[in-house]
């Protein structure tokens, strides 16, 4: 398997959508523990990176990296507040 086709986690629905729904349901920003709990409970599969990249291109945006979930969510959620 090449680097382009190593296996990566792909969330369905995308993790960013799951986090946004959780935050809207709560009615307040998620804290770090809540964000990581949502990530840990979200549905995902392992797919080749090329498949994940193609799905992100079709969707129109890249999802949050689950390893950097908290940091990336802080950056992305600020866009929804604007």
Count of domains for the chain: 1
- pLDDT of 80 reads 76
Tell me what pLDDT residue 2 has. Answer: 58
Answer yes or no: is pLDDT of 82 > 70.
no
| Nearest partner of 35 among 46, 44, 45, 26, judged by Cα | 26
Location of structure tokens 């960013």: 16
Buried/exposed code over 38-71 (b: 16+ C-beta within 10 A; e: otherwise)? bbeebebeebbbeebeeeeeeeeeebbebeebee
How many whole angstroms separate alpha carbon 56 and alpha carbon 43?
A: 16
DSSP β-bridge partners for residue 8:
47
User: Using one digit for the tens of pLDDT, what is the confidence trace for 40-49?
Assistant: 999 999 999 9
What is the span of the domain harbouring residue 60?
Answer: 3-81
Instruction: Using a pLDDT cut of 70, give the percent of the chain over it.
Output: 94
């Amino acid at each position: 398997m090449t680097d382009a086709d190593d296996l990566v986690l792909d969330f369905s629905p995308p993790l960013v959508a799951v986090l946004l729904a959780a935050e809207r349901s709560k009615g307040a920003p998620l804290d770090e523990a809540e964000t990581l709990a949502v990530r840990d409970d979200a549905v995902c599969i392992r797919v080749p990176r090329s498949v994940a990249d193609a799905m992100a291109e079709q969707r129109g945006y890249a999802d949050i990296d689950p390893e950097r979930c908290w940091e990336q969510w802080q950056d992305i959620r600020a866009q929804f507040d604007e």
